[in-house]
């Protein structure tokens, strides 16, 4: 078992942009690290560089103490689970799991013992003599896991291993992988585009965008203290509402106004975002998670902390209701493109869309005006030009 | 507990010692190269043709330089040296290995192996059955089709094959072959070649290793190039020696007067081409003037009557021009005859009615049956007195009023007028099935919705065929036409067997370009001229290929239906 | 084409469709039927008119049926005295017979036992010779005749009614023919070449062809797998250039290569040797493309997984890629088999000494079945032997073959 260290790693393809740009990341020994980001963000490339499947254009990659830039994949002592599992179709489960050992010329009885141990751990014992095509998706996924763990590698690499499973199985496998990693204590690098997976599984999560590392932090910190606008928008579901607003400071009170609305911001928010004070009279991007709304009757706040909007759509989820509304300001943009636009075509609507999560006991009709209390002490503020938080 | 529990196996030769040995070996190579350079340039040895001598000199120089570079590089541990050494050693290994096999008579000894096989054919068939059993037993006899094959059954197959192999060896009696190898291997030249092969082989094996690559700091890209070329090398060597080299040689020879034997070879420039293509036309007063009205060296190709004036068309190589005329006629008849039925039949076979696969298989059989057998069979069918064709025409005449059978059996292949037509029949019969299958592939790309739409519009079968199937298959049709034409242009085998009284007969009615080329090269011993004919033919064929290429490109850009 | 409509018109179209298909199938199958039946015929049986698809032999019946012992008895067919056609078994081929000619019709011949007839005592002068006049039995009636000749002939017994017997000259009778395939055509054509036993040496050609075919197919499979893998999966310098050259090579017709290849074979002394049919053909650009195409279709992750498992490139190739490529290899093997088995032009050029030990089937057949052919039955036996393996291979490998001939345009 070993740590994995990226030192100024870059990956350039011929006549293309950098797939990974100057990545610095230390993955501790035994850590469960999740790389997350929208497609094309370079997370898979980073993973494949650890595996040795992508050449490293620049920088230094270490596994443990060893620099592995020029070490071929087979000599890196790592195991990988692929998105499509990449099982050998012509080999039985037993042969699939044992292939690495066979290649390493381990004795036959030793191979059998270790394959059976791994199969036992994953509940595959009765399928050992089947071919992959006779297995269900979940079973195949477990065979791929078995192939990885039988080698007792220094690092596990997983490339979206759950994305081919149905939703229910995915939840099940998620907890299985967490427990497996805890039991084996092996360093794990896990790539996913699904931020829920990232939040629930990783000890730490590395958020990437367009080849650049945005933030590495434990999941809760990502949620509470996003390092920039992108992370703020990416983490959380439904995503954080980001609204371009004008800041007015009147004495100790800070007000944000947008699309005819005006909210007073709690002083607690100012403690977290002291930089806001210097923005009097300027535009900022004001971030408010859907769960930080409540119906006015559920939360006692001042009148100046209530937002009145027209409900365009009410999605009853059972425990909660999602209220969709639009406020009349252009959606915020960073680098000229609307943020979060990568997965969000809705961001192209004329106004800025706002989603509020309120308690499920309420019945809300479409077109109805609702009064939403805002927990303004939990709001976030970002610089509209750079996307940096106003800390 | 990783994979590496057992620890790395101790290497047999330390890297540095090994590299020193390789350096030493390269120095030996330099010395040997210089010696052979001197030997090759030594005058007085007239047994070797100049070309071979030149080749040997160039080869020796190349080997010497490569060895020198490799020796210096490996001595200094230069990064590229491993690549140079590997390439040198590998090529040397291939060359010396082939030379060794040649000296041992392994290549020409294959005829002796044929004798053994002839004596031991039965045990050989048992071996084949055993191995086939190994291949298919698992799939056939296993209860669970998804499980891998049962090992016991496979072992039985292996066992059978092994037993039969013993039987085979006893029956084939290889003692003669072995004693021959034993005799030859003790000769000094053979022993020398063996030594070179062993040394270069061992050096290649050693330098190939990963740990040596690490020592030399070979980059991953270079490693990829090496392994790519290594994988490709058997193919590439064959490609060079049996395709690219001969191709170049053929072009060179076409500018020579060239005989099979060493004498009578001289450079003639483009004379061969001029001779093949020269035509002369001259008017004449008499209707059937002879060669005398033409330029000297020209013979009458045909008589023409234009606007009341008699013309004589002559050529220097009359037979070639006749063969061109024949092949043009053949093309015009045989290509539609093997494509049109395919178009119609494939439209029916694509309908997925029951039994279509059976018909498809039947139609395909003539194209796999072997042209010689097919020609022999048709020769019998065309037989004038007791042949089935004449008999069936006679019987048809009894039933159908419009068939007028000749009183005596018509001699199909020995009559000037029908000889070429007979070849057309055989060609079309052999190839329409293959074309049908090509068309069937084309049918698969026609969207089913078109037919459904036509059905709803109430189109009848003919309208559907005419308005949907044929236009949609345009690209396929083009492809089929071109491939069939290329095949037809190379007509040889059918004519060789069928035409009478000699190949190309009667009276050159069935002479084809390939036949003319064959006769020039292998019966007339004019290999230079025949090469020129080959290139002329190639240019004609290339015209078709090029058209096909252009069409494919256009098809790709304009796109069919998606 | 949708022919799924219902109604009488659609049914008629469907029937017509099948009739057309069957007619074409007959045209395809009929020559093969002629070949197979001819292969079982006697040579005399081939050149009879009208042509027939049934191999016949001269008929016999068991000796016991006509009250004899020993070998089967030959059967002849000729009309009896009442001009009814009949089948007659020849029970004694060497009976002493006498030919009588009735005096009222000297052209007619009555064949009777040598002891038959009673002399009337009169004589008659025929061509200046005095001949005794006999009273002989002519189909129940007694006629006067003279004995024109004493000869030996046949005693025939009716096949239908063994009690009826008739004497006749054997050369007047035509032997009856019945279904009778001649299997020894095959053994004769296969036997070693020998004018005395009429062996044609096709056996040796057959084993030579098998040898050549197997080695060519093996060679093509190995070189194509290696080359296809390199083109598909190894990134090496010069790959696209070499690949383009390979693509271009497909455009070159074989006739262009035949003269230089012949020269090359002369240089290495491979002329008139089977090796000249093997080594130059163990490399195929088509096969390399076929394998490359297949390897490109195998997900890259499978290979990457094997790389991570520590497998070397060659381990990956032989343990992972090749087992997966079985369908492509089967296709390649089928094409290689058909090509090697049926090839003719090159053997004709290079195996030219007439030594039967170096000949292959196509070559031997072309010599046997050529213009100066004799023993047509043996030629056809050889033809059938030569055609059967490729047709069987095609039928078994049809799945691979038909699918891929379309996609690759191989021929």
High-pLDDT (> 70) share of chain C, %: 94
Q: Is B451 exposed, middle or buried (0-12, 13-18, 19+ CB in 10 A)?
A: buried
Please name the member of C315, C323, C324 whose beta carbon is closest to the beta carbon of A103. C315
pLDDT computed for residue C194 by the predictor:
77
Q: Residue C277 maps to which CATH number? A: 1.10.3720.10
Burial C118-149 (b: 16+ CB within 10 A, else e): eeeeeeeeeeeeebebbebebeeeebbbbbee
Q: Are residues C269 and C325 in the same domain?
A: yes
Are the Cβ atoms of A77 and B4 closer than 8 angstroms? yes
Residue C184 lies in a domain: no
Q: Are residues C175 and C272 in the same domain?
A: no
Q: Are residues C274 and C317 in the same domain?
A: yes
B288 secondary structure, DSSP code: T
- pLDDT tier at C410 (50, 70, 90 boundaries)? very low
List the structure tokens of C281: 């053909």
pLDDT computed for residue A189 by the predictor:
95
- pLDDT tier at C212 (50, 70, 90 boundaries)? very high
Largest CA distance in chain A: 79
Q: Are residues C77 and C144 in the same domain?
A: yes
Q: Give residue-wise pLDDT tens across range A364-386.
A: 888 889 999 999 888 999 988 88
Are the Cβ atoms of B239 and C253 closer than 8 angstroms? no
- pLDDT tier at C85 (50, 70, 90 boundaries)? confident
High-pLDDT (> 70) share of chain B, %: 90
Number of CB atoms found within 10 A of residue B236's CB: 20
Q: Mean pLDDT throughout C381-398?
A: 90
Q: Across all residues in chain A, what is the average pLDDT? A: 88
Q: Mean pLDDT throughout B46-58?
A: 69
Q: Are residues C232 and C346 in the same domain?
A: yes
pLDDT computed for residue B46 by the predictor:
53
Q: Mean pLDDT throughout B96-125?
A: 83
- pLDDT tier at B3 (50, 70, 90 boundaries)? very low
Model confidence at B317: pLDDT above 50 = yes
Q: Give residue-wise pLDDT tens across range C115-141.
A: 777 888 788 888 777 888 888 887 777
pLDDT computed for residue B78 by the predictor:
85
Model confidence at B120: pLDDT above 70 = yes
Q: Give residue-wise pLDDT tens across range A187-232.
A: 999 999 988 899 999 999 999 988 899 999 999 999 999 998 889 8
Number of CB atoms found within 10 A of residue B235's CB: 27
Q: Mean pLDDT throughout C33-44?
A: 91
Q: Mean pLDDT throughout B111-123?
A: 82
The CA-atom distances, in angstroms, between C111 and each of B113, C74, C80, C136, C170 are 64, 20, 12, 10, 11
Residue C131 lies in a domain: yes
- Least confident piece of the model among B7-21, B345-359, C364-378: B7-21
- Least confident piece of the model among B135-139, B402-406, C52-56, C274-278: B135-139
- Cα(A335)–Cα(A345) distance, rounded to whole angstroms? 17
Are the Cβ atoms of B372 and C366 closer than 8 angstroms? yes
- pLDDT tier at C385 (50, 70, 90 boundaries)? very high
Put simply, whether A92 touches C (Cβ < 8 Å) is no
Q: Is B178 exposed, middle or buried (0-12, 13-18, 19+ CB in 10 A)?
A: exposed
- Cα(B135)–Cα(A21) distance, rounded to whole angstroms? 51
Q: Are residues C123 and C14 in the same domain?
A: no
Q: Are residues C91 and C168 in the same domain?
A: yes
CA distance B206 to chain A (A): 19
ipTM, two decimals, is: 0.87
pLDDT computed for residue A251 by the predictor:
80
Model confidence at B5: pLDDT above 80 = no
Strands C73-79 and C85-102: antiparallel
CA distance B11 to chain C (A): 18
High-pLDDT (> 90) share of chain B, %: 25
CA distance A37 to chain B (A): 30
Residue C51 lies in a domain: no
Residue C106 lies in a domain: yes
Put simply, whether A133 touches B (Cβ < 8 Å) is yes
Residue C44 lies in a domain: no
Chains touching B by CB (3 or more pairs below 8 Å): A, C
pLDDT computed for residue C341 by the predictor:
94
Mutate to test the interface with A, among C303, C305, C307, C319 (most CBs of A within 10 A): C305
- Pick A340 or A279 by higher pLDDT: A279
Q: Are residues C210 and C351 in the same domain?
A: yes
Are the Cβ atoms of A90 and C306 closer than 8 angstroms? no
Q: Are residues C33 and C79 in the same domain?
A: no
Q: Across all residues in chain B, what is the average pLDDT? A: 83
Residue C192 lies in a domain: no
Q: Give residue-wise pLDDT tens across range B123-157.
A: 888 888 888 877 776 555 544 444 444 567 778 88
Q: Are residues C83 and C150 in the same domain?
A: yes
Put simply, whether A134 touches B (Cβ < 8 Å) is yes
Domain with C402, as residue range(s), is 202-408
Q: Is B498 helix (H, G, I), strand (E, B) or coil?
A: helix
Chain B residues in contact with A100 by the CB 8 A cut-off are 3
- Domains in chain C: how many in total? 3
- Pick B229 or C77 by higher pLDDT: B229
List the structure tokens of B510: 């069935």
Residue C195 lies in a domain: no
Put simply, whether B267 touches C (Cβ < 8 Å) is no
Mark which residues 222-241 of C lie under 8 Å from B by CB: 222-224, 226-227, 229-231, 234-239
- Least confident piece of the model among A74-83, A88-97, B3-12, C33-42: B3-12
Q: Give residue-wise pLDDT tens across range C353-364.
A: 777 788 899 999
Q: Mean pLDDT throughout C231-258?
A: 89
Q: Give residue-wise pLDDT tens across range C268-296.
A: 888 888 899 999 999 999 899 999 999 99
Put simply, whether A152 touches B (Cβ < 8 Å) is yes
pTM here?
0.85
Put simply, whether A75 touches C (Cβ < 8 Å) is yes
- Cα(A87)–Cα(C104) distance, rounded to whole angstroms? 103
Q: Are residues C65 and C23 in the same domain?
A: no
Mutate to test the interface with A, among B3, B146, B148, B222 (most CBs of A within 10 A): B3
- Least confident piece of the model among B230-239, C159-168, C182-191: C159-168
pLDDT computed for residue B288 by the predictor:
74
Residue C197 lies in a domain: no
Mutate to test the interface with C, among A44, A48, A53 (most CBs of C within 10 A): A53
pLDDT computed for residue B17 by the predictor:
86
Q: Are residues C28 and C98 in the same domain?
A: no
Count of CB contacts below 8 A, A vs B?
37
Greatest mean pLDDT range, B166-170, B201-205, C166-170, C192-196: B201-205
- pLDDT tier at B553 (50, 70, 90 boundaries)? low
Are the Cβ atoms of C309 and A72 closer than 8 angstroms? no
pLDDT computed for residue A28 by the predictor:
93
- pLDDT tier at C5 (50, 70, 90 boundaries)? low
- Pick C192 or A107 by higher pLDDT: A107
Put simply, whether A141 touches B (Cβ < 8 Å) is no
- pLDDT tier at B48 (50, 70, 90 boundaries)? low
């Amino acid at each position: 078992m070993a740590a994995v260290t990226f030192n100024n790693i870059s990956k350039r393809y011929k006549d293309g942009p950098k797939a990974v740009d100057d990545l610095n990341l230390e993955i501790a020994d035994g850590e469960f690290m999740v790389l997350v980001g929208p497609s094309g963000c370079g997370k898979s490339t980073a993973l494949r560089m650890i595996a040795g499947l992508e050449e490293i254009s620049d920088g230094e990659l270490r596994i443990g103490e060893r620099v592995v830039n020029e070490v071929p994949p087979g000599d890196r002592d790592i195991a990988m689970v692929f998105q499509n599992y990449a099982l050998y179709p012509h080999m039985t489960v037993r042969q699939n799991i044992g292939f690495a050992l066979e290649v390493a010329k381990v004795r036959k009885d030793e191979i059998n013992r270790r394959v059976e141990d791994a199969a036992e751990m994953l509940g595959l014992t009765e399928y050992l003599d089947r071919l992959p095509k006779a297995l269900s998706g979940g079973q195949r996924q477990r065979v791929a896991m078995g192939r990885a763990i039988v080698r007792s590698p220094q690092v596990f690499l997983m490339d979206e291993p759950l994305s081919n499973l149905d939703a229910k199985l995915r939840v099940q496998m998620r907890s299985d992988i967490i427990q497996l990693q805890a039991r084996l204590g092996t360093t794990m690098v896990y790539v996913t585009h699904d931020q829920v997976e990232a939040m629930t599984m990783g000890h730490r999560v590395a958020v990437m965008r367009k080849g650049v590392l945005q933030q590495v932090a434990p999941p809760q910190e990502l949620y509470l203290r996003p390092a920039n606008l992108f992370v703020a928008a990416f983490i959380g579901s439904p995503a954080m509402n980001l609204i371009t607003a004008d800041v007015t400071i009147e004495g100790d009170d800070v007000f944000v106004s947008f699309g005819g609305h005006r909210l007073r911001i709690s002083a607690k928010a100012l403690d977290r975002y002291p930089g806001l004070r210097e923005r009097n009279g300027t535009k900022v991007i004001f971030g408010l998670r859907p769960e930080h709304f409540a119906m006015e009757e559920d939360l006692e706040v001042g009148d100046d902390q209530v937002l009145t909007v027209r409900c365009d759509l009410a999605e009853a989820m059972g425990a909660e209701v999602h209220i969709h509304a639009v406020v009349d300001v252009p959606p915020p943009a960073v680098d000229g493109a609307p943020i979060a636009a990568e997965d969000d075509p809705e961001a192209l609507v004329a106004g800025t869309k706002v989603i509020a999560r309120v308690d499920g006991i309420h019945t809300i009709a479409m077109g109805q005006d609702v009064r939403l209390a805002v927990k303004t002490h939990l709001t976030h503020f970002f610089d509209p030009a750079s996307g940096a938080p106003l800390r | 507990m990783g994979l590496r529990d057992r620890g790395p196996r101790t290497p047999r030769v330390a890297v540095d010692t090994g590299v020193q040995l390789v350096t030493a070996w390269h120095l030996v190579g330099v010395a040997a190269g210089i010696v052979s350079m001197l030997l090759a340039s030594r005058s007085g040895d007239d047994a070797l043709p100049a070309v071979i001598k030149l080749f040997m000199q160039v080869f020796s120089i190349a080997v010497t330089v490569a060895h020198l570079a490799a020796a210096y590089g490996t001595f200094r541990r230069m990064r590229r040296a491993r690549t140079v050494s590997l390439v040198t050693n590998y090529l040397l290994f291939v060359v010396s290995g082939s030379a060794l096999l040649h000296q041992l008579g392994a290549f020409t000894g294959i005829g002796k192996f044929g004798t053994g096989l002839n004596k031991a054919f039965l045990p050989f068939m048992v071996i084949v059955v055993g191995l086939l059993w190994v291949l298919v037993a698992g799939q056939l006899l296993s209860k669970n089709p998804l499980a891998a094959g049962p090992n016991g059954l496979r072992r039985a197959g292996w066992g059978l094959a092994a037993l039969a192999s013993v039987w085979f060896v006893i029956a084939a009696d290889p003692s003669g072959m072995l004693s021959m190898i034993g005799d030859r291997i003790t000769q000094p030249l053979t022993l020398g070649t063996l030594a070179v092969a062993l040394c270069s082989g061992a050096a290649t094996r050693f330098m190939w290793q990963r740990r040596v690559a690490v020592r030399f700091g070979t980059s991953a890209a270079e490693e990829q190039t090496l392994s790519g070329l290594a994988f490709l090398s058997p193919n590439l060597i064959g490609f060079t020696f049996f395709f690219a080299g001969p191709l170049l040689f053929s072009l060179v020879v076409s500018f020579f007067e060239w005989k099979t034997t060493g004498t009578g070879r001289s450079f003639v420039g483009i004379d061969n081409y001029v001779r093949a293509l020269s035509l002369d036309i001259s008017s004449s007063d008499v209707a059937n003037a002879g060669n005398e009205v033409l330029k000297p060296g020209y013979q009458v190709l045909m008589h023409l009557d234009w606007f009341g004036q008699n013309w004589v068309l002559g050529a220097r190589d009359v037979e070639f021009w006749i063969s061109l005329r024949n092949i043009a006629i053949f093309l015009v008849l045989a290509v539609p005859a093997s494509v049109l039925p395919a178009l119609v039949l494939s439209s029916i076979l694509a309908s997925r009615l029951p039994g279509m696969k059976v018909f498809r298989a039947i139609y395909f059989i003539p194209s796999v049956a072997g042209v010689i057998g097919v020609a022999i069979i048709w020769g019998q069918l065309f037989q004038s007195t007791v042949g089935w064709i004449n008999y069936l025409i006679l019987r048809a005449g009894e039933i159908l009023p419009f068939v007028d059978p000749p009183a005596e059996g018509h001699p199909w292949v020995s009559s000037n007028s029908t000889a070429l037509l007979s070849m057309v029949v055989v060609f079309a019969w052999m190839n329409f099935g293959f074309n049908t299958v090509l068309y069937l592939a084309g049918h698969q790309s026609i969207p089913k919705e078109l037919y459904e739409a036509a059905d709803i519009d109430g189109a009848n079968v003919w309208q559907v065929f005419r308005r949907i199937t044929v236009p949609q298959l345009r690209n396929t049709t083009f492809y089929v036409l071109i491939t069939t034409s290329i095949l037809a242009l190379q007509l040889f085998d059918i004519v060789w067997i069928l035409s009478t009284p000699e190949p190309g007969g009667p009276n050159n009615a069935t002479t084809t370009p390939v036949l003319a080329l064959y006769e020039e090269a292998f019966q007339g011993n004019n290999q230079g001229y025949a090469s020129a004919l080959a290139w002329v033919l190639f240019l004609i064929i290339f015209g078709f290929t090029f058209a096909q290429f252009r069409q494919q490109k256009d098809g790709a850009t304009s796109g069919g239906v998606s | 084409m949708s022919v799924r409509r219902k109604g009488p018109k659609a049914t008629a179209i469907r029937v017509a469709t099948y009739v057309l298909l069957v007619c074409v199938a007959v045209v395809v199958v009929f020559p093969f039927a002629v070949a197979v039946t001819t292969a079982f015929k006697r040579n005399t049986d081939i050149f009879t008119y009208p042509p027939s698809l049934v191999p016949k032999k001269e008929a016999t019946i068991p000796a016991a049926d006509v009250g004899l012992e020993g070998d089967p008895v030959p059967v002849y067919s000729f009309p009896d005295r009442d001009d009814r056609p009949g089948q007659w078994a020849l029970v004694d081929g060497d009976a002493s017979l006498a030919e009588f000619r009735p005096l009222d019709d000297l052209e007619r011949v009555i064949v009777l036992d040598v002891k038959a007839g009673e002399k009337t005592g009169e004589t008659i002068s025929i061509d200046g010779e005095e001949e005794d006049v006999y009273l002989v039995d002519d189909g129940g009636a007694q006629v006067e005749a003279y004995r024109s000749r004493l000869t030996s002939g046949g005693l025939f017994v009716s096949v239908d009614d063994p009690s009826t017997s008739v004497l006749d000259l054997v050369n007047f009778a035509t032997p009856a023919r019945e279904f009778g395939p001649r299997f020894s055509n095959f053994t004769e054509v296969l036997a070693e070449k020998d004018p005395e036993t009429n062996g044609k040496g096709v056996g040796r050609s057959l084993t030579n062809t098998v040898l050549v075919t197997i080695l060519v197919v093996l060679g093509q499979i190995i070189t194509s797998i290696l080359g296809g893998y390199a083109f598909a999966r190894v990134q090496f310098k010069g790959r696209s250039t070499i690949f383009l050259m390979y693509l271009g090579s497909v455009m070159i017709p074989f006739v262009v290569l035949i003269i230089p290849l012949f020269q090359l074979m002369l240089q290495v002394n491979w002329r008139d040797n089977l090796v000249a049919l093997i080594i130059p053909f163990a490399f195929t650009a088509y096969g390399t493309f076929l394998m490359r195409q297949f390897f490109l279709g195998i997900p890259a992750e499978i290979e990457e997984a094997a790389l991570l498992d520590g497998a070397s490139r060659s381990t990956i190739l032989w343990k992972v890629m090749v087992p997966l490529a079985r369908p492509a290899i089967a296709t390649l093997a089928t094409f290689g088999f058909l090509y090697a088995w049926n090839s003719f032009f090159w053997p004709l050029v290079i195996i030219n000494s007439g030594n039967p030990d170096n000949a292959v089937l196509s070559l031997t057949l072309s010599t046997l079945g050529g213009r100066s052919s004799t023993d047509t039955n043996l030629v056809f036996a050889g033809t059938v032997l030569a055609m059967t393996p490729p047709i069987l291979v095609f039928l078994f490998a049809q799945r691979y073959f038909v699918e891929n001939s379309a996609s690759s345009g191989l021929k």
